[in-house]
Structures are given as structure tokens and as C-alpha cells.
Amino acid sequence: MRRPTPRFTATVSTTGLRTVPFNRPHVAENELDYIAEVVRSGRTSGDGAFTRRATGLLSELTGANDVVLTTSCTHALEMSAILLDLQPGDEVIVPSFTFMSTANAFALRGAVPVFVDCRPDTLNIDERLIEGAVTERTRAIAVVHYAGVACAMEVIGELAERYGLALVEDNAHGLGGSYQGRPLGSFGAMAAQSFHETKNVQCGEGGALILNDPALMARAEIIREKGTDRSRYFRGQVDKYRWVDIGSSYLPSDLLAAQLAAQLEFFRVTQLRRHAVWQAYHEGLADWAAGNGISQPMVPDGCAHPAHLYYLLFPDIANRQAFIDHLAGRGVQALFHYQPLHCAPAGLRYGRPATGGCPVTEQVADTLVRLPLFADLAEDDVAHVIEAARDYEVS
């Protein structure tokens, strides 16, 4: 029997103060039943029936033939770095304004992340600065579609082709987004997805690697299975499995795949709800933002974003912090993220900024605030966040 999908109502604490958390993962229809099914089946390791189901659903969403589930986006990026056969001293162009995994995955192979600044409007890697960062050691460009708004893929794709560089999409934010009608995750030779609890589709910790180059799939299966040909063994293609390459344990349990399958089947509903919250913020804060010198997200023509996150850019760090404190006083949890990688301790040790540095990234990192956004955010909580925000005046 199908259980009704749990919906959360507005949260009012015992003190009477409404509290709005930054994130609360929603529970998809069938999610608990699917997980129970795996537990009862007595087979909880990876590559079971729900792994196949979730993988098929991801293929449909991204249009990719070859997809492998992984234990995180971080691990999917690490797999991409192994698949690229990066050697110590090779360089990979990455944005500075991103999560550390985008650079760390390549640094782990001994490659040097070369940090490029972001555009002030979309906060994506500034495509105009990429060519200047290319050297004879450059092997790849890794892009992040920030907030699920596409990077300038025609320019970046053309550059990659001209210089013979591999293109990797860190598509942690972008599932369900598209550019010129083409799904994000379908532009690079590989794309990494995240199913961390803060993402639109989540299983606590999880990820996937999308392989758009058919030549990569056979090796990807091996890398993901501790460097063995166990996948071929399970398909009856070899009579024993052996250690054939380097790899690691990047294969998630079928328990996580069950949660993921339910979440993916529920994706359309999730997205309707997330877009409603995003749009309410965008419209409800527009005049207040303009009157206070605060920037709202910019979505260029041709980009369909998946309402992954909603951010505001304040004029300076003092107002950013005062705004976060002001919202906290109203029970609303707002956060900032991404400290520039080019000047992080490991960024300085393992990478280097491209010529000209990353001044926009530094400014954005100091001034960005993210508002609560999740599928079960109740309408009156959204209204409360908007009202609380509008009560703040930039000084």
C-alpha cells in the first residue's frame, strides 16, 4: 500500500519563535518501503536491483547511456581524475569559487589545480579567463554549474576542443537543469552528480558519474570496484574476478540506491515545490533587494535551472554577517559557503591561481548568503523568511 508522502508544516518552537532550518531532506513517496524491501531481501551490498533502477532513472534524466552510482560526488570526481590518467605536474583548470572536492580530486592524482575567477553575474567560472590559464601542461577543464545555472558551455566546449582538453562537469548542483535545451551533465566527457542530503535528490551521502564517452565505461566499472573486474564476473563474462587496475570502493550499498530510486521517481514533485520556493523569494525580495544594493541570482537566456539554491549578494561582509544574525534572531537559519580555493591552505600548497588572481571570487565569498530552500518548506515559513529579510536594511 502506498503511504502518503509526509509533509512538514511550519515549525514553531516551545518559546513560540518560528524556526526555519536551512535544509531538511524530504522523504519521497515509497522511500521507506523501498529501503525496507532491501533490508528484508537479505542483500544490501551494491549493484543490486535498486542500483539498476536508480541508474536507469538517472540515464533518463540526463540522457546518458552510461551512468555509475558512486558513494559521493567527491568520489565520482576522483574517478574522473583516474580515468583521465592524470600524471603529477599535469594541470587542471578549475573555478576557485567551488567546493574543495572539485580541485581535491585532481590534486590527489598529483595534478595542479589552476584556479580561475568567476563571473560576477552567474558566479560560474569566467569563460573569458580560461584561455589565459591554458599552458602546455593543461589536461582538462572542470566546470561547476553554480546553483544549477549552466556555464557558457559553447565557449568552454570550443576551447576544450581547440586545445585538446578533456571537459569534466561537476554537476553537483545541476541535476534537472539544462542549457539550450540540453541536460546539464551531458556536455563533458564525464559529469559528477551529488546526492548529499542538501541536494535536490538525496540519499544522505551519494553520487554518480555520468560517462558521455562510451570508451570510458569499461574502465569506470573496474575503478569503482576496487580495481577489479567483479562487474564482468557478476555478468558471467569472466569465471573469476581479479585485481586489474587501480581503483577504490566507490560502490554504494543497495540501501542507498533504494532511497535514491524513490527520490528520483519523486523528482517532478520535488522540483515543483523547490521552484515555488525559489520563485517566491525571487519575487518577494526583488524591490527590497534593489533598494538596498543587494544582488539576486541572474539566470541567462537559454538556462533552465533546477532551483537548487537561492542566494543574495550583499554590498560588504559586515552587512552579510549582520543579515545572517538578523535572520537568526527571527529563527531563520541562513548560511554562506565556498571560501576561495586559490587562497585556502591546501589551494596554496597544491594549486595556483591563474594570472590576475580571483578578485571576484574573493568578493563573492565575503558577501553571499543562502536562504533556506528545501522541498518541504511550508508556504508560511517561506513568507516568514521573506518578511524577516525585508525587515533588514543595509547600512
Ligand X SMILES: Cc1ncc(COP(=O)(O)O)c(C=O)c1O
State the Cα–Cα distance between residues 265 and 273, nearest whole angstrom. 15
CB of 301 to ligand X, least distance (A): 23
State the Cα–Cα distance between residues 384 and 382, nearest whole angstrom. 5
Among 138, 194, 200, 259, binds ligand X (CB under 6 A): 194
Among 55, 72, 104, 367, binds ligand X (CB under 6 A): 72
CB of 361 to ligand X, least distance (A): 14
Neighbours of 363 (CB within 10 A): 17
Q: Look up residue 215 and give its DSSP letter.
A: G
Q: Which is nearer to ligand X, 38 or 256 (CB)?
A: 256
Angle among Cα 378, 321, 343 to the nearest 5 degrees reads 110
CB of 115 to ligand X, least distance (A): 14
Residues 6+ apart with CB under 8 A from 15: none
Residue given cell 548529499 in the structure block: 196
Which range of residues in 166-174, 222-230, 254-262, 296-304 is near ligand X by CB under 6 A? 166-174
Residue 190 is a binding residue for ligand X (CB under 6 A): no
Which range of residues in 66-74, 149-157, 220-228, 239-247 is near ligand X by CB under 6 A? 66-74
Exposed (0-12), middle (13-18) or buried (19+): which is 372, by Cβ within 10 Å?
buried
Residue 101 is a binding residue for ligand X (CB under 6 A): yes
CB of 77 to ligand X, least distance (A): 7
Q: Which is nearer to ligand X, 98 or 124 (CB)?
A: 98
Residue 70 is a binding residue for ligand X (CB under 6 A): no
State the Cα–Cα distance between residues 34 and 257, nearest whole angstrom. 9
Write the DSSP assignment of 58-119 as a string of letters: HHHHHT-SEEEEES-HHHHHHHHHHHTT--TT-EEEEESSS-THHHHHHHTTT-EEEEE-B-
Among 99, 179, 250, 374, binds ligand X (CB under 6 A): 99
Among 54, 57, 144, 208, binds ligand X (CB under 6 A): 144
CB of 322 to ligand X, least distance (A): 26
Residues 5-64 touching ligand X, rule: CB under 6 A, are none
Distances (CA, A) of 11 to 103, 142, 380: 38, 40, 10
CB of 99 to ligand X, least distance (A): 3
For ligand X (CB under 6 A), the number of binding residues is 14
Q: Which is nearer to ligand X, 252 or 353 (CB)?
A: 252
State the Cα–Cα distance between residues 352 and 130, nearest whole angstrom. 14
Residue 133 is a binding residue for ligand X (CB under 6 A): no
Residue/partner pairs of 10-15 with CB below 8 Å, 24 or more apart: 10/378, 10/380, 10/381, 10/384, 11/378, 11/381, 13/331
Among 172, 190, 222, 375, binds ligand X (CB under 6 A): 172
CB of 209 to ligand X, least distance (A): 11
Do 310 and 370 contact (CB within 8 A), yes or no? yes
CB of 204 to ligand X, least distance (A): 10
From residue 200 to residue 239, what is the string marking binding to ligand X with x (rule CB under 6 A)? -------x--------------------------------
Q: Which three cell numbers stand for residue 18?
A: 518560528
Q: Which is nearer to ligand X, 69 or 388 (CB)?
A: 69
Amino acid, res. 84: L
Q: Which residues of this chain interact with ligand X, rule CB under 6 A?
A: 72-74, 98-99, 101-102, 144, 170, 172-173, 194, 196, 207
